[in-house]
Amino acid sequence: MSHPFEYSFMMPQPFDYDTYPLWKDNGGKDLDQRARDRARQILADYERPPLDEAIREELDAFVKRRKREIST
């Protein structure tokens, strides 16, 4: 393999290829729990990208207008 990113396609992250004793020593988490843990970690690590101030103002104006339209 010529690029490190190609290795990420070899073993899906949620799967565990450890031996049973090692899996047990590491908490014995099933696929569902490992996937939930990974999803929580992804959400915790998320950093919102910066939003241009003009776009922010436009969105705020849109939301304000729609709230006004909905309430009438």
Exposure string for 47-71, b = 16+ CB within 10 A, e = fewer: eeeeeeeeeeeeeeeeeeeeeeeee
pTM (two decimals): 0.52
Measure the CA–CA gap between 71 and 69, rounded to whole angstroms: 6
pLDDT tier at 7, thresholds 50, 70, 90: low
Note the pLDDT of residue 59. 97
Note the pLDDT of residue 47. 94
Number of structural domains, the chain? 1
Q: Whole domain around residue 32: which residue ranges?
A: 4-71
Measure the CA–CA gap between 72 and 65, rounded to whole angstroms: 11
What percent of the chain lies above the pLDDT cut of 90?
50
